Amino acid sequence: MKFSTDRLVVTPEASSLIITTKTTEDESLRLAEALAERILETLPHTPVSAFGINFAFRDRELDQGLASLFRLSDAEGLAEHGHIPLSLSIKRSIKWEDAVLNVTLTASEEESLYVDLNFHHEVNDAKEASTRLNGRTLKYRDEGLAFLKNVYGLRMRETL
């Protein structure tokens, strides 16, 4: 089951609630954050142990500078035996202020690059989640984009 508006999609799952924006406009991101805060404030007794703010990006062409990240020592052996990888992912968890930034870079067989950023927070309850969420969505989007530019030389062109 999904609930949809012109800006948001809300997907309740067995152990989580996913709020997705249809655009990357500031107003959509603010609306998603406000809805999450309102839900957390309305249901203060709901057990909440963590929350994440996620962003996904795609680059249709894998930059040659980044391609070297995906050259592993087993590639030659795989090729010699006729094994062609369809994709390869690199995952990192990085301390980010009072959160953990989980970064996943995936190169696919058509040489596209997919990047997933997850700003993960461990919390004790819904109230703490609401308090820590406040004002983070736009901040994390901007910090995530700066991180991708500074570390990997990536600039946003298209979002998923």
Domain borders along the chain are 3-152
pTM for this predicted structure: 0.89
Beta bridge partners of 29: none
Contacts of 41 (CB under 8 A, 6+ apart): 126, 127, 130
Q: Confidence class of residue 8 from pLDDT cuts 50, 70 and 90? A: very high
> What's residue 60's pLDDT?
80
Instruction: Report the distance separating Cα 91 and Cα 89, nearest Å.
Output: 6
Question: Which percentage of the chain shows pLDDT scores above 70?
Answer: 96
pLDDT at 146 over 70: yes
pLDDT at 123 over 90: yes
> What's residue 157's pLDDT?
62
> What's residue 109's pLDDT?
74
pLDDT at 160 over 70: no
Whether the CB-CB separation of 136 and 63 falls below 8 Å is answered with no
> What's residue 112's pLDDT?
87
Tokens of 151: 């570390």
pLDDT at 114 over 50: yes
φ, ψ dihedrals at 56, nearest 5°: -130, 140
